[in-house]
Structure 1
Amino acid sequence: MNTSPPTVVLVYQRTTLPWVFDSAERAGIRLILVPRPDEDVAPDRLPPAVSGVLRLDVDGDRAGALAALRRRYESTPFQGICTLYDPLVPFVAEAAELLGLPGIGRDAALGAQDKRVMRERLAAAGLHVPRFVRLEDPGGWEEAAHLDFPVVVKPAHGFSSLGVAKVDRPERLKAAVEEVWQICREKLGRIEGLVVEEYLDGPEFAVESLVHRGEVTVCTIGYKGEPEGPYFEESVYRAPAVLPAAVEDAVRREVTAAHTALGITDGPTHTELRLRGGERPYLLELGARIGGSGVSQYIVQHVTGRDFAADALRIAAGLPPLSFGGGRIPAATGAAANYIVPCGGSGRIAVVHGLAELHDDPRVDHVVQMLFPGDVVRPYPDFTGYPAFVLSRHTTTAEAETFHRTLETAIGVEYTPEGSGR
Structure 2
Amino acid sequence: MSSFTESLMQRFDAAPPAAERVDFALNRRKMPSTAVERLPGIAEIEHAYFGSAGANAPGPSPLAAAATGSSATAELARSLKSANFMPVGSLDFSRDDGPLSPSLASRLKSSGNLGSPHGFSPVFSSLPAIRPHALERDAPEVQTIRRKLLRGAQVLIFQAGYSGKRFVYEHLRELGVRLTILDGPESWAKCLLDEDVIEAYIELDFTDFGSLFERALDAILDSGIAFDAVATFYEDAVAIVARIAEALHLPGNPREACDRARNKRVTREIMRVHGLPTPKFMRIDDAQQLEAAAESVGFPAILKPVFGAASMGVHRVESMEDLQNTYAKVRSMMNVETDTIWAQGNEMMLEEFYDGDEFDADVLMSQGKVVYVSLSDNWACWEPWYQETGMNIPSIFPPAQQTELVNLATQTLHALGFTDGAFHVELKYTSRGPRIIEVNARMGGMCVRDANLRCWGVDLVEEHVMTALGIPIRPPKAPQPLTELAQAAVNAPYSGVIDSDDWLEELQAYPECKVRRYLKPKGARVVGPEEDMPDWIAELIFEGPSVSELLHMMEQALKRLRVPIQPLDERARRGWFFPSHAFPFQPSAVIP
Give the TM-score category using the shorter length. Answer: 0.7 to 0.9
Out of 459, 464, 477, the position equivalent to 1:312 is 464
- CA deviation map 1:193-228 (0-9, x unaligned): 111111111111111000111111343111111236
Equivalent residues in 2 for 1:32-181, closer than 5 Å: 32-35=180-183, 38-41=186-189, 43=191, 49-60=197-208, 63-64=211-212, 66-73=214-221, 75-146=224-295, 147-181=297-331
C-alpha displacement at 1:400, in angstroms? 2.7
Aligned CA distance change for structure 1 residues 218 and 130 (closer, same or farther; 3 Å): farther
CA contact (8 A) 2:492 2:528 kept: no
Equivalent residues in 2 for 1:246-265, closer than 5 Å: 246-265=400-419
CA distance in 2, matches of 1:80, 1:38: 24
Q: Does 1:289 align with 2:438?
A: no
Equivalent residues in 2 for 1:343-362, closer than 5 Å: 343-351=492-500, 354-358=503-507, 362=511
Aligned CA distance change for structure 1 residues 338 and 167 (closer, same or farther; 3 Å): same
Aligned CA distance change for structure 1 residues 330 and 218 (closer, same or farther; 3 Å): farther
More contact order relative to length (CA 8 Å, sep ≥ 6): 1
Aligned CA distance change for structure 1 residues 78 and 367 (closer, same or farther; 3 Å): farther
Aligned to 1:202: 356
CA contact (8 A) 2:493 2:534 kept: no
C-alpha displacement at 1:365, in angstroms? 4.1
- CA deviation map 1:286-314 (0-9, x unaligned): 10000115x22111101101222111111
Out of 409, 412, 422, the position equivalent to 2:563 is 412
Out of 346, 356, 380, the position equivalent to 1:226 is 380
Unaligned runs of at least 5 residues, structure 2: 1-11, 13-121, 126-150, 571-592
Which is further off, 410-419 or 149-158? 410-419
Aligned to 1:213: 367
C-alpha displacement at 1:353, in angstroms? 6.5
Secondary structure of the 2:165 match is: coil
CA contact (8 A) 1:355 1:411 kept: no
CA contact (8 A) 2:193 2:200 kept: no
TM-score (norm 2): 0.64
Aligned CA distance change for structure 1 residues 415 and 219 (closer, same or farther; 3 Å): farther
Secondary structure of the 2:536 match is: coil
One-letter amino acid matched to 1:234? E
CA contact (8 A) 2:160 2:232 kept: yes
Q: Number of residue pairs matched?
A: 414
CA contact (8 A) 1:115 1:157 kept: yes
C-alpha displacement at 1:368, in angstroms? 3.5
CA contact (8 A) 1:155 1:194 kept: yes
CA contact (8 A) 2:239 2:262 kept: yes
Aligned CA distance change for structure 1 residues 64 and 36 (closer, same or farther; 3 Å): closer
Aligned CA distance change for structure 1 residues 64 and 397 (closer, same or farther; 3 Å): same
Aligned CA distance change for structure 1 residues 379 and 392 (closer, same or farther; 3 Å): closer
Which is further off, 181-190 or 308-317? 181-190
Aligned-pair identity in percent equals 24
Aligned to 1:391: 541
C-alpha displacement at 1:44, in angstroms? 6.8
Q: Looking at secondary structure, tell me which structure has more strand per residue.
A: 1
CA distance in 2, matches of 1:220, 1:352: 35
TM-score (norm 1): 0.87
Aligned to 1:323: 475
Unaligned runs of at least 5 residues, structure 1: none
One-letter amino acid matched to 2:333? I
CA contact (8 A) 1:338 1:390 kept: yes
CA contact (8 A) 1:273 1:284 kept: yes
C-alpha displacement at 1:382, in angstroms? 5.5
Whose radius of gyration is greater, 1 or 2? 2
One-letter amino acid matched to 1:369? Y
C-alpha displacement at 1:102, in angstroms? 1.6
Cα RMSD after superposing both structures: 2.9
Which is further off, 309-318 or 328-337? 328-337
Q: Looking at secondary structure, tell me which structure has more helix per residue.
A: 2
Aligned to 2:68: none
CA distance in 1, matches of 2:154, 2:534: 33
- CA deviation map 1:357-393 (0-9, x unaligned): 4468643444333322343344669657522322343
